[in-house]
Each structure stands twice: as structure tokens, then as C-alpha cells.
Chain A
């Protein structure tokens, strides 16, 4: 298809493409609105060696720069979730293609336009829960079953830091505790805990199914509070 061929050639040259977009607005707009797998793959290879199928940390850095987002921004987590990336700092070609097709992005500008949408995912509890659960597998060291405490703290800060009033205390608790790793069950329950338990812990049920980690946290928190007060 001639149109396709035309379209594919400017993608390789980004600045020119932009100029063209400005000069021929209406047509370009229409053309660029359509999602092109080819363009998407080409975009992927901008960050990798041509025959490589994995976008590595270096490419990732460049990618972040291009779309104007810091790597530790939570949007990147959302994106990773959308791409269903298996490991932090890496995108495979398959993941890239599948995820970008889903959000209909084949260029930086398109993705930049989508970022707000991705960010809004976090406000939806169901999506957030999925992102949260995804984050565990995404962030953990693939050699271990559990996530080490340092990563966990960072991830929790990223995910819950703004919404959970007790995060500070919890962070402190983890710091002083003997826990080295957080397992998935604990991880998932922390979210539940942050959602259902009031900041004063008044509705916490010790006989409930909460993991011992949280039992201990509550105990510690109450003790600390009574000591400080």
C-alpha cells in the first residue's frame, strides 16, 4: 500500500516527521492516528540493536528520556503492566508489540498522549489492585521467590506512599524488623490492609486471617503509640 510506504519512511526520521505533521496537518493527523505494527516495531528497534529482541536497561533509559518520564515514575509501572513486562528494566519485542497494540501507540507522541490515561488507571481500584499485584512479580528478583525488603519498601513507597497514611509507620516497622523478604501473600495483604483498616487500627481483628507480619506491625504500632503518648 502506497500510503503505508509513505508513512513508514518518515517514521525513521523523527524531526522531519514532526515538520510534516505541522505542514500537512489534516492528512497527517489522519494517517498518524492509525496504528501501524511496522512503525511500532521500528520504534522498538530505535532502542535496541536491530536484531535484538530485548529492550535492555540502556534502551530503557533512552526510551524514558524520549517520552519525557523518569524511570522511577509510577507511569512506567503502569506501562510495564500494560506491556505485561516480566522483568524490571526489560521489554521483549513480543511484550512491546502486544502491549503497544493494546494501547494503540506506535510513536512517542502517541504514547505521550496516552500517559495521562495510564496514570488514571491507578485511580481505578480494580486496575490498581492488578497493577499492585503485578508490581510484586515485576519488581522481585527473579532468582528468589520473595521480594527483598529494600525493593519492597521502594515499591510500596511508589504505590502506597501517597494514599496510605500508615505507610510511614509501616516503613519504619519493616526497617526495624527482622524480616528480610516479603512474600507474595504478605505483599497482597498489605494492600488489603491499607484499604480496609482504619488509620487508628480500631477495626483490626487479631483473629482474622492477616499474615503474622501485619499482626506484628499492629502490635508494634500500638506499643509505639502508647510509648510515645
Chain B
């Protein structure tokens, strides 16, 4: 498999000279691979080997550039150019290309790669020396050391991972060989060592190619084809199968041994070799570079000093005399010293090819043939190279002309390779500094010309401004861009030619810039630092960007290219970014200001979002990413941060009121971008809730209608805000807390009423006949109510009203469902603790006990003589659990009193320690009544109503006063009772005179002609208007309870603290008390306790209290 095609004109492989690494590499190539087609004066070196290794191959184009690829699939890893050998050595390019093509084809044809690359060995037995075993062993050791060094050197190649890859691939292939393992181990061990930092790698490929510019020296390389090989041309013939045999055969031969080892080694490293060659174009470790330097210097000095005499011998001597700089050289030297001169000669002569003439014409296809054995013969210099007269001048003229041609974009008279060689020669002859200066001068001149060109364009622009300003500056930008592109192209080309200069002189001299940098510098100083050009350019770019911001389409590519130029010239930040940000800032400051005025908030937010989006796009398309942070923050600052308060003031309330989810989401997203944005928004959000909530809660006129809807409104409002937080504000913790706090604040701004209303709201929901909700809905509703309840400070108020309502529900049996009641109770318990609900639970317990007790009473009644026709059910209510009812003494009919007595005795027989008190206000009865026409009705009425109606058993007409004395019902109550009987819907009594309200002196008649479609009629007692009396009593009771709680708390605190200052006591009290209290109220309680000797004031310090035991 042909991997790499190269030709070496006048290949020189100084095996006997001072060998630097490059030399060694060449020789390795020459030895291991194949060399064909040697002729006097020129030589083609073709490297080929077979193996499963990744393909590395090179192509060359007409211009003399070469491209080296690691494999076909890989990208180009190095490019370069080398001077045409043909031009100087009358070698046909076509030939080379041909070979290459063939080799490509061979690549494809070799479907099954043999295990190894074939050893190029030609008549090795005759040529190679057999040295004795001892010396070989020694050599072996030394060779190992040297190899180690080699490994090190290879690894100074910065592109090591690829090498590693190939190592691993090969490791699999050659694991059988012990040596390989050793080698690999060495390699791996070495890999663990810290490596010196890599610097640029010199273009080795050039190096060893151009080693041979001294054409007088020549080496012949010969290859013999064994057997019936058809090979005639100088194509490396690789033979896999024979390799092993040969190496076995030739083990005795030191040269071969070395060779074969090297060969094996190089097989592993072939890819690295190639890499080394290739990568040389881009970077090389300093060491390598230095070696090169010494090497080339060595040659030069040789050439200069030993112009006459036997060059080979002298050279060898000289090289031996010069102490080798590294191990490799040492090895080579020893290696060499082991050989006799004659051996070497024989070696060389043996290598010299007899079939030069033929080789040229033979097809590279022959390459494929297996079993070919090659031989490498390297001859010494025949004559001493001589520096031509006027060398420097001529060469420079040539180079200058070429450079100018490049700058003019015209064709170059010389091949690029030739130019490259010229540069190298000049460098080799210590003309680097001069060359550099001259080159710089030429470039300088050209760049100055550029400025003039641009100026020409500028002047042109001045004329144009009169007509079309826009075209003017765009054209100018294009010109600048064109100028820059051209400059880059030219500098790349020039650098390629002067690569050697760049890699040697420039790298070693720290004071000068590399050619590329020099080009940049020149461009910077002459073109871009020109104030007019710079200003025009930057202004132009800004103008374009401004246009784009106003919505026009602009040439983004142009902007991008120009900005790239600026950043390449390191002017991006100074020249552009600063003014760009300024322009952005002023633009958005003005725009933000204006639009804030003109547009309403949602529109404005949408606009800000759009702008941010656009700027991000701008960043993506042409701005440098380093601008991202300042740009985005600039836009955010100008459009958002400055208007935060205004946006919030103007828009947030509206958005929240209208429940505009999308806009709110956008607002949240935008505000989260700016510092303090969310904080401000959160504050505004809280304020909105407080204000809105306050309007719901506050009711200065005590309008009952409004209070009725308050709880429902609150629930709706809470739902809405929860939804906003969930959807728009991404459940931000801050906002959730703000919501809670705000609710707590506004709900408690009105004392007690919200708690009362919530209790009543629950009552309506839990009352029987409320069929609007299913159980689940009811459950959910109660959960929501509990949330509201949680906000309320005066929970005792809630409890009082809830208890009152619950008592009503229980006694009248109106409760919708016991389950719902119980679940509400458990919720309250969860929220406020067992103490809070213990009384409520007691009420439920009472009801259950009463049920049982009534059953046993009924059984008891069967054995007792009872006044006929009356059944009685009694609910026994424990005093503390139930709301306090003022007992009212009324005159009951004798039968009822009798029944009560029976119950009393029965009860006391069961519960001796208890006392019964009858609550006549809570009683209700079912009466059977006969009306005229024989209609029998059942009247469901209250006890008071019953008392009034029973009177009419004895007569048909009674006055108000008569009824009052008979029943002893309290005035107002009696009026209400009679009103319900005589003025309500079902009028079982008639009033005289007629009227809605009952007055003193009114007379009441039995309504004999009463008619009603139902059999059982419920006559509702006219409800006392609940407010204000009942309400105030409840509230007052709550306050009274609170006083006790405060007293208890004070005593508790003082008891633990013994002595406490006033302020501490107050703050402690606020911690303990769960309801709102005024400080003055607390003071009153404190004074009362002082008065009652629970505590005393300190005699000296009136701010301090002592606990009195």
C-alpha cells in the first residue's frame, strides 16, 4: 500500500555524517521503504509500506504545494508547498504525479493488507556487514537508549493523541512481537512523563527535501527486484511475507539488525513520521528546530571549509569531530565507527542502482507486487557545494519580484518551491535578518499603497456624498473589506514562501514578529490606525447596525468580515466595541424613554422582548461573543432597569386585574433578567394585593350586602392570584410569600369582621339544603376557606361565631352532613390545635349522648304515669361547650312542667353531680290543631309560639297584655312570636287591628278558617335581626375571653421571668397572644394585675415589674 509519495532530488542521506534526527528519519525512510529511480543528479524517493495502519498519503498539485493526509477520510492535516524539483533537476512533474496516482490506486487495490510492511532490502547479505554478537549486544543497549530518546523526541510533537491512536491500533497488530511490547511500554511510560511545552514545529518535509540543494552531492539508491518481479521503476516495492524471513536471515548483520529494528519501529511510527513531516509545517518543538539549525550549519561549515579534498572522508571526520548533541547522534556515531571505511564504501556502492534509466518509465503499479526486496545505497558527496556569486542579490531580486507579483495578484515567474528554496538558502547563509528587513520593507510599501487606494475611495466617497450618501459609506466598507481580504491572501502566500524564514530566524529572534503578525501590524499601523479610515470604518459599521435595528436589511456578511478584521487586528474592543455600546446605549435610552411614554405596558414589554431577541441574533451573526454580556446588560439596563418602577406603576395592576397571563409571564421573564427586577415586581405585586384586598375587605358603611359577598370575593381573588403565581411567576418563592403576607395584612386591617364572615360563610355551606356542591367540591371549598382562615389573626372571633352557628345547626338538626362537619372540624384542629376545637368536639359529643339518653328515657317513660299525649326529647348540653344562652323563665303548661320533673328525676338518678337548667328559648314543638271545616294540621313551632297557641285552647281572643301575663315571655320576644303567628305567611292567629307590627294593646283572635295546602306546616319564628345585638354580644364575649387570656399570659410570663421591663413584657406578650391587641389594652391588664397584687412595679424604676408570689 503506497502511503506516501515523495521524491528526493539528489537524495542525500548522510548516514556517515553527523546525523541529526531529520537525517536519521530520511535514512530510515530510505532503508525501510524503497528508493527507486536514481539517476545522476536527481533521485526520487518513494516511500511506501504496507500495513493495516491508517493511510497517510500526500498529494501534490501543479503549484508544487503538497497536501498530506493521514487517511483519505481525514481532512488535510498539513499543506505547504515545495519548490519544484523538476525545474532544477529536469525531472518531470508528470512522472511524480503519475506515481502518485498509481499509489492512490494501489491504496484501493490493496484490499487485504499484509501483516507488515515489506522490508526494502536489496542484496543485503552481500552488502551488510556481519558483526560479532558482543558488540551487537552493546550496540543494542545503546540503541535502546537512543530509541528512548527518539520516543521522547517524537512525543515533543504536540499532536500526540493521533500518534497514540496509531500506537493502539498497531499494538493490537503486533502484540506478538516482544520487542513491540517493550517499545510500547517505553512509549507508554514516556507518555506519563511531563512533556516540555510544544512550540512551533519546523517543516521537516521541506527540510529534508532541501537538504540536497547542493547538487554536487548525490547518492544513488538502488533497488533490486528479486525473482520474476517486473518492477523496473523507482517504486518502492514492499513485500510483507519476506520481511520476517529477511530479518531472520540477517540477524547477524549489525547493520541489518539495526535496520530491521528501526524498520519495525518505524512501522509503528510510520504514521508519526508522516505526521512529523506533515505537522512540521505548522509547529515543531524547539529542540527539533535547534537540531536542524545545527545540522544545516554543520553542513554549511563543512561545505565552506572543505571545498577541496575527499569530501566524504573529510566530512565524516568533521562530523565525528563535532560532538553529537544528542543520543541519536551518539548512536549513529558509534554505529558508524563500528564499520570500516570499506564496508561503508561497499555499502554505498552496493546501493547504487544499476537500473536508473529504467526506473523512470516503470509503472508504479508494480508496487503491488509482493516479494520485492529493496536495497538502499547512499553515496557520499562528490563535490563541494559552492555559493554562487551575487547569490544574495539575485535571490532577493527573485523573491522581491515574486512578492510584488503576489501583491499585484499577477502570476509568479518562479515555482513556489524554488522560491521556498531560495529563502531557505538565504537563511542558511545567514542572510535571515537582511531578508526579513527587506521583506518587511516591501510589505510596508505595499500596505502604504493600500491606504492610498482606500483614500482614493474615500475621495471618491466625498464626491458621492453629494448624491447618495448611503452608497458612499457602504462602498467604503466594502473597499476596506476587500483590501483586508486581499492583504490576508497575500500575507498567507508570502508567509508560505518565507516559511523557512518564519520558522528559523523569526522564531529565534524574539524582537521580530512572525511574518503574519508583521503583516497584521503593518495593516494596523498604516491602514486602520489612520484616523480617517478607522473612524469611517467604525462609523460605517455602526451605521449599518443602526439601519438593521431600524428594520432594514443589511449585508451581515460584510459586517461580520469587518468585525473579524477588527478583532484580528486587536482593535475590536478599543475601536469598535466601546463606541458600539455607546451607540446602543443612547439608542435604547432614547427609544425606551419614548416608547415607555407612548405604549402601554404589555406592548412595551413585547417590544423589549423583541429587542433583546434581535440583539442576541446580532451577537450570533456578526458580533464577537465577548460583547454579549455588556451588550445584553446595556439593553436590559436601558429598556428595563431604568423603567422598572414606571412599568410596574403603569402596568402591573392592570395586568393583574385583567388577569393577562401571557403578559405577566413575559413581564416576569424580563424582570428576572435585571438586578432587583423581581424584588421590585414582588413589592409591587404585594402592594397590588394589599390594595385590592383592602377594597374587598373594607366596608366603611357596614353595608351588609357587600359583607355578604366578601368571603366569596376573597376566595376568588385568592384563586386568581394563585393562578398568576403558578402560571406566570413560575411559583417563585418570594412571590408566594408576598402573597401570604399581603393577604394576612389586608384581611386583618378590618378587625374581627372577616373572621365572623368566614364563619358565617362556612355555616351557609354546611347548612342543610345547600345542594349546590357535591361533597368533593365542598371539601375543596373548605380547604380554600382554611387558607383564608390561616391569615386571620383573631381566630377566637371565628371560633365564637362558628360555635354559635354550629350550635344552631346541631340543635335544629339543619346540618347538611355529619361528615362535612367532622372534616371541617378536623381541619380546624389541624390548623389551630386540639385546644381550639375541644369545645366544638364536645358539642358533637353532647348530641350523641343526648340521643342515647333519650332512648333510655323513652324506655323509662313506659313505666311512669305521664301526662298524656306529649312526647319529649331533651338535648343535654354541657355548659362550657355551647354558647351561653340567657335562660328565660316562662310559664309552661302544667303537663309540660310535670314532664320536665319526670325527666329531671330520671336524669339525676343517672348523673347525680349535675344540674339541669332548661333553655326555653331553644325548644320547639309540633302541635296538632283542628281548624274550622275539620282540617287537621300539624304545626311545627317554637316553644314560645306553642305557649301562645296553647292559650287559645281556653278562649278565642286575647289581648297582648293578657298573653304576656299568661306566658311571662319577655316583651320583645313575645312581639316577635305573635308577629310570626299573626302576620307571617301561615296566619293561624288574626290580629286586631291589622298591621305588620305587633303593638301593645293589640288583640289576637284564633283564625278558625285557616287554610293551607300542606298538612305539616312550619311556622318560622321571626329571626331577631342578628346584628347588632347578637353580634356585639358575641364580640364582647370574645373580648372578655381575650382579657382572661391576656391576664393569663402576663402572669405566665412574669412567673417565669420574675422581673421584666415593660417593653420586654409587651413584646413577649405579642409573641404569645394569637389575636390582635392594642398596647393600651395590654397596659390596662397589667395595671389591673398590679392592682390585684399579682405583680408590682419596681419602686425605683417604673419601667420594671416584679412578679408577686
Contacts and interface: CB of A to CB of B under 8 A. Distances in A.
Contacts of A146: 1091
A215 B1090 contact: no
Contacts of B1105: 209
Contacts of B1102: 188-189, 192, 209-210
A47 B1061 CA distance: 49
Contacts of B1079: 206-207
Contact of B1083 (A145, A183, A188, A212): A212
A188 B1097 contact: yes
A211 B1083 contact: yes
Contacts of B1063: 207, 209
B1103 interface: yes
A212 B1062 contact: no
A209 B1091 contact: no
Given A207-B1063, A209-B1062, A185 B1103 contact: no
A188 B1096 CA distance: 11
Contacts of B1091: 145-146, 183-185
Contacts of A168: none
Contacts of A215: 1080, 1083
A112 B416 CA distance: 140
A146 B1062 CA distance: 23
A15 interface: no
Contact of A183 (B1061, B1066, B1087, B1104): B1087
Contacts, number: 43
Interface in B1086-1109: 1086-1087, 1090-1091, 1097, 1099, 1102-1105
A208 B1082 CA distance: 12
Contacts of A212: 1080, 1083-1084, 1087
Contacts of A189: 1097, 1102
Contacts of B1097: 185, 188-189, 209
B1099 to A, nearest CB: 8
Interface string A141-162: 0000110000000000000000
A129 to B, nearest CB: 8
Interface string B489-528: 0000000000000000000000000000000000000000
Contacts of A145: 1091
Contacts of A210: 1083, 1102
B1093 to A, nearest CB: 9
B1087 to A, nearest CB: 5
Nearest to B1103: A209
Nearest to A129: B1099
A215 B1083 CA distance: 10
A207 B1087 CA distance: 14
A136 to B, nearest CB: 13
Contact of A185 (B1062, B1080, B1087): B1087
Interface string B474-498: 0000000000000000000000000
Interface string A193-222: 000000000000011111110010000000
A185 B1083 contact: no
A133 B1083 CA distance: 22
A206 B1079 CA distance: 9
A123 to B, nearest CB: 20
Nearest to A192: B1102
Nearest to B1098: A209
B1062 A211 contact: no
A83 to B, nearest CB: 22
A185 B1090 contact: yes
A207 B1066 CA distance: 9
A189 B1066 CA distance: 19
A189 B1104 CA distance: 12
Interface in B1061-1086: 1061-1063, 1066, 1079-1080, 1083-1084, 1086
Nearest to A219: B1080
B1080 A211 contact: no
A215 B1087 CA distance: 13
Most buried by A among B1080, B1083, B1104: B1083
A119 to B, nearest CB: 24
Contacts of A184: 1091
Contacts of A208: 1062, 1103
Contacts of A186: 1087
A192 B1099 CA distance: 10
A50 B477 CA distance: 133
Nearest to A181: B1091
Nearest to B1095: A185
A184 to B, nearest CB: 8
A130 to B, nearest CB: 10
A145 B1086 CA distance: 17
A205 to B, nearest CB: 9
B1100 to A, nearest CB: 9
A181 to B, nearest CB: 10
Contacts of B1099: 188
Nearest to B1066: A207
A185 B1103 CA distance: 12
Nearest to B1082: A212
Contacts of B1090: 183, 185
A208 B1066 CA distance: 10
A185 B1105 CA distance: 11
Contacts of A209: 1061-1063, 1083, 1086, 1097, 1102-1105
A145 B1092 CA distance: 10
Contact of A211 (B1087, B1103, B1104): B1087
A185 B1094 CA distance: 13
A183 B1087 CA distance: 9
Nearest to A207: B1079
B564 to A, nearest CB: 71
Nearest to A193: B1102
Nearest to B1102: A192
A209 B1080 CA distance: 10
A149 to B, nearest CB: 16
A215 B1081 CA distance: 12
B1077 to A, nearest CB: 13
Interface string B1035-1068: 0000000000000000000000000011100100
Contacts of B1062: 208-209
A197 to B, nearest CB: 11
A188 B1066 CA distance: 21
A186 B1099 CA distance: 13
Nearest to B1084: A212
Most buried by B among A145, A208, A209, A210: A209
A213 to B, nearest CB: 8
A196 to B, nearest CB: 8
B133 to A, nearest CB: 110
A159 B1063 CA distance: 30
Interface in B368-383: none
A98 B108 CA distance: 138
A144 B890 CA distance: 41
Contacts of A207: 1063, 1066, 1079
Contacts of B1061: 209
A212 B1066 CA distance: 14
A209 B1085 CA distance: 12
Interface in B160-175: none
A189 to B, nearest CB: 6
Given A186-B1087, A215-B1080, 13 more contacts: A145-B1091, A183-B1090, A183-B1091, A185-B1087, A185-B1097, A188-B1099, A207-B1063, A207-B1079, A209-B1061, A209-B1063, A209-B1097, A209-B1104, A212-B1087
Top 7 closest pairs, chain A to chain B, by CB: A209-B1062, A209-B1103, A185-B1090, A192-B1102, A183-B1091, A212-B1083, A212-B1084
20 contacts: A145-B1091, A183-B1087, A183-B1091, A185-B1091, A186-B1087, A188-B1102, A189-B1102, A192-B1102, A206-B1079, A207-B1063, A207-B1079, A209-B1061, A209-B1063, A209-B1097, A209-B1103, A209-B1105, A210-B1102, A212-B1083, A212-B1084, A215-B1083
